[in-house]
Structure 1
Amino acid sequence: MTPAQIADALVAASASESTPLDRRRLQLSAPLAPYTTFRIGGPADVLLEAQTADELATAITAAKQAGISWFVLGLGANVLIGDRGIRGLVIRNAAAAHTISDDGTVWSESGTIMQELVLDTVRAGWSGLEHYIGIPSTVGGALWQNLHFLSPAPERERTMFIAEVFASCEILAEEGDRKVVDADYIQFGYDDTVFHHRRDVVLSATFQLTKADPARLHQILQENLSWRGSRHPWLQVHPSAGSIFKKIEGVGAGRLIDQCGLKGFRVGDAQISHIHANILVNLGHATAADVRALVAHAQAAVKERFGYELQPEVGFIGEF
C-alpha cells in the first residue's frame, strides 16, 4: 500500500469510533529523525501526532482493524530508527493532559514529558518524581522502562524506580480492550515491564506522591541535573539514544568498552562518547548504518578481550 492508501484505510477503519481520525492530520512520508533524541531515522509511511489518550487508542484500534502495522513513538529516546524508516502508521504520543490533586494523587496522560510533570509536582510541593529530572522520557516511556536513577545526593547509593510511586494506569490491551491495571500486572523489573512482552499501550497513569518542602525538592533537582550533566553528553549538542548496551552480570558495559580503548572511536558521524563509553553520539550527520556498524565494532572488541556478549538495550526500529 502507498502512504496515501494507508491513510485512507485508517480513516475508513476509524469511521465508527467516537472520535474518528481526521485525514488532514495524517502526514505522509514524514521524516522521523526530528522526533528522536538521536536525530536519526527515515520516514514513516504515515505519521499521526495523537493529542489525547482517546485519539491514541482510536489510531491503534483503526490500524489493527485495517491490518496496518503500527508503532507508538514517545519522546524518541532509547530507540534507533532505520534509515529506510517505518512502514505503516507511526503515532507520536503527544497526549499531555495531567492533574495534581490536593492529596498528592497525580494523573497524567502517557504522552506528558516527564520533565514537565516533574517541574509541576515540585512547584506544588509533592515529592516522588524529582529524581528523574533530566532524563528524556514521556510518562508512557517511564513506565515501559521502569525509569530509574541513582539518588539522592551525595551518596548515590540507591536506585530510585518510578514503580515506587506508581498507583495504576489505564492501558489499551493487546486484545483491544481498555482497562485499568495495577503494579502486579505491570511486573516492574530492572529495565523491564510487561510492556516489553505484550503489545499493551499505556494511555494514562496515576502516581501517589508525598508532601515535601519545595525548596528541598528544587535542591534535589539541581543536584541531579549537575550530577547527570557531568556524566552524560548534552543532547542539545551531541544527540544520542542514551545507554546503548545492557549491564552484564552487574558489570557496566561502558567500563568494558572504555577498557578496550574505544572512547572517541567513530564510524562516519557516529562516535563512542568521550564522556561515557556506553553512549554513542551523533556528531551531526550520522546514519543508522553508522550506528549499527559502531555497535558491531564495540561488541566485537568486548567479545575478543573479555568474552562478554554485549546486548543492546536500545530498540532497533523499522527498516535498515
Structure 2
Amino acid sequence: MPDPASTSPIHGGTTPAALAEALGRVLDTTRLRVNEPLAPYTTFRIGGPADVLYDATTADDLATAITTARALNIPWFVLGLGANIVVGDRGVRGLVIRNQAKAHRLSADGTLWTESGAVVQDLVLETVRAGFSGLEHYIGIPSTIGGALWQNLHFLSPAPERERTMFISEVFASCEILREEGDRRVVDADYIQFAYDDTVFHHRRDVVLSATFRLEASDSATLHRILQENLSWRGSRHPWLQVHPSAGSIFKKIEGVGAGRLIDQCGLKGFRVGDAQISHIHANILVNLGHATSADVQALIAHAQAAVREKFGYELEPEVGFIGEF
C-alpha cells in the first residue's frame, strides 16, 4: 500500500471524481463512492451528497483514511450512525469517512475492547447476555462508541427514581486515538476531560480508533429488566426513529429550566416548517415527517429561538452539529 505521507496535496476546485482517484491510490477503491447521498446514513434522514464517501472497516483503515485526506489536503469528516447532526442540503465537500470498524472482544474479567465504529446497542446486548454491567443504561440511544466518547454518552437511570445521570465515562478505561498532530496514542480519562456533553474531542481534531471499558459482573436477569425499563421510559418520552426520524435533542440543556419546557410553553409542539416539525412528544426534538430539508430544519430552529427569546428572554443554543453546505 502506498504511503499516505508521500502523496501530493490536492488543491481547490478539484472534482469529486478526481478526489476519488487521488484517494484510490491509497484506499480500497471498492469502498469509495462519488456523490453519495448522505440522508440514508443519518438518523434525521436529511442531507445532500458527499463528494466522496468511504467505508472504513477497521481502526487501522480509519486512521489511514484520515491520514491520507490530511496528506492530500482534502477536507474530511468521520460519520458514525449519523445522530446529533444535520447535514446540509448541498452536501459535504471532500471526504466523508463512514466508521464501520466494529471488531470487539469481551474478556472473562469484564474488560471490553472495541473499535470505535461498533454500535453501542450491539455491545449493550452482548455484555448483558454475558452478565456484565456498565452499558445497559444506554440501550436505545443511537450511537457508535466513537460518538459515545465524543459526547460522554449519558442517560437518567436507574428506574424508577431516575435521579442520577449515568455517564459512559464511569466505565471508561482508555482509548487509542489518532491525534490531530498525526500520531497514534493510548490515552486515559485525564486526556479526554469528560464533562456534560463535552470532551477534548470537541476542541481538537483527535479521532477515537478503539476503546477499552471495565465492566462488572452482574445478574443477567436483572440487567434484562433494566433494559426493558429503560426502553419503556425512553420510548414514552422520545419519538420513534423508525417512524419519525430525528437528530435527538436540538438545543443544549438550560439548567433548572429545560429547553424543551420553554418551547412547549410557547405552544410550539406540533409546529412545522415544511416537513420538519417540533415533536408532539418532546418539544426539544424536531422530527422529519418524510421529506424535510435542512432549510426546513434551520427555519424551524430559528422560529423556536425567536419565540423563546421573546417570551422568556432565554437564548436557545443548538447542540446538534451542522455538517456541510446549507
2:29 matches 1:11: no
Return the letter of the residue paired with 2:15.
Answer: T
Distance 1:309 1:37 in 2: 26
Give the partner amino acid of 1:82: G
Q: Unaligned regions of 5+ residues in structure 2, if any?
A: 1-13
| Equivalent position to 1:253, from 249, 259, 262 | 259
For 1:17-36, what aligned pairs fall within 5 Å after superposition?
21-36=27-42
Aligned: 1:293 with 2:306: no
Q: How does 1:28-47 map to 2 (within 5 A)?
A: 28-47=34-53
Rounded Cα–Cα distance in structure 1 between residues aligned with 2:71 and 2:97: 16
Q: Percent of aligned pairs with the same residue?
A: 81
1:280 to 281, 286, 289: 286
C-alpha distance in structure 1 between counterparts of 2:92 and 2:149, whole Å: 24
Contact conserved, 2:152 with 2:195, CA < 8 A, in 1?
yes
- Structure 1 letter corresponding to 2:96: V
Q: Secondary structure at the match of 1:198?
A: coil
Tell me which residue corresponds to 1:135. 141
Q: Which residue of 1 aligns with 2:6?
A: none
Aligned structure 1 segments of 4 or more residues deviating by more than 6 angstroms? none
Q: Which amino acid aligns with 2:111?
A: T
Q: Provide the C-alpha distance between the structure 2 equivalents of 1:239 and 1:128, rounded to a whole number of angstroms.
A: 28
TM-score by length of 2: 0.95
Q: Report the counterpart of residue 201 of structure 2 in structure 1.
A: 195
Gaps of 5+ in 1: 15-20
Pairwise CA RMSD: 0.6
Matches within 5 A, 1:179-218: 179-218=185-224
Per the TM alignment, residue 250 of structure 1 is displaced from its structure 2 partner at its CA by: 3.4
Structure 1 residue 75 displacement after superposition: 0.4
Match of 2:4 in 1: none
The number of aligned residues is: 313
Query: Where in structure 2 are the equivalents of 1:163-182 lying within 5 Å?
Result: 163-182=169-188
Whether the 8 Å contact between 2:24 and 2:32 is mirrored in structure 1 is: no
Aligned to 2:80: 74
Q: Is the CA contact (8 Å cut-off) linking 2:128 and 2:220 kept in structure 1?
A: yes
- Alignment pair present for 1:239 and 2:245: yes
Shift of 1:11: 2.8
Structure 2 counterparts to residues 73-92 of structure 1, below 5 A = 73-92=79-98
* Amino acid in the other structure paired with 2:323: I
Q: Does 1:157 align with 2:163?
A: yes
Superimposed CA distance per residue, residues 4-52 of structure 1 (whole angstroms, 9 cap, x where no aligned partner): 110122233x3xxxxxx11232100000000000000000000001111
Q: Deviations over 1:123-148 (max 9, x none)?
A: 00000000000000000000000000
CA displacement 1:225-255 (0-9 Å, x = unmatched)? 0000000000000000000000123321000
Q: Distance in 2 between matches of 1:52 and 1:299?
A: 41
Partner of 1:17: none
Which amino acid in the other structure matches residue 175 of structure 2? C
SS at match of 1:316: strand
How far, CA to CA, are the matches of 2:305 and 2:242 in structure 1? 27
One-letter identity of the residue aligned with 1:166:
F
Read off the aligned partner of 1:310 and give its amino acid letter. Answer: L
Secondary structure, aligned partner of 1:47: strand
1-side partners of 2:29 and 2:15: how far apart? Answer: 15
Distance in 1 (CA, whole Å) between partners of 2:251 and 2:46 is 18
1:102-127 CA-partner distances (Å, limit 9, x unpaired): 11000000000000000000000000
Structure 2 counterpart of 1:18: none
SS of residue matched to 2:124: helix
SS at match of 1:164: helix
> d(CA) in 1 for partners of 2:96 and 2:29?
14
* Partner Cα distance (2:125, 2:114) in 1: 14
Counterpart in 1 of 2:272? 266
Kindly provide the CA deviation profile for residues 255-283 of structure 1, in whole angstroms up to 9, marking residues without a partner as x: 00000000000000000000000000000
For 1:9 and 1:66, the matched residues in 2 are separated by 8
| Alpha-carbon displacement from aligned partner over 1:262-317 (angstroms, at most 9, x marks no partner) | 00000000000000000000000000000000000000000000011100000001
Query: TM-score scaled by structure 1?
Result: 0.97
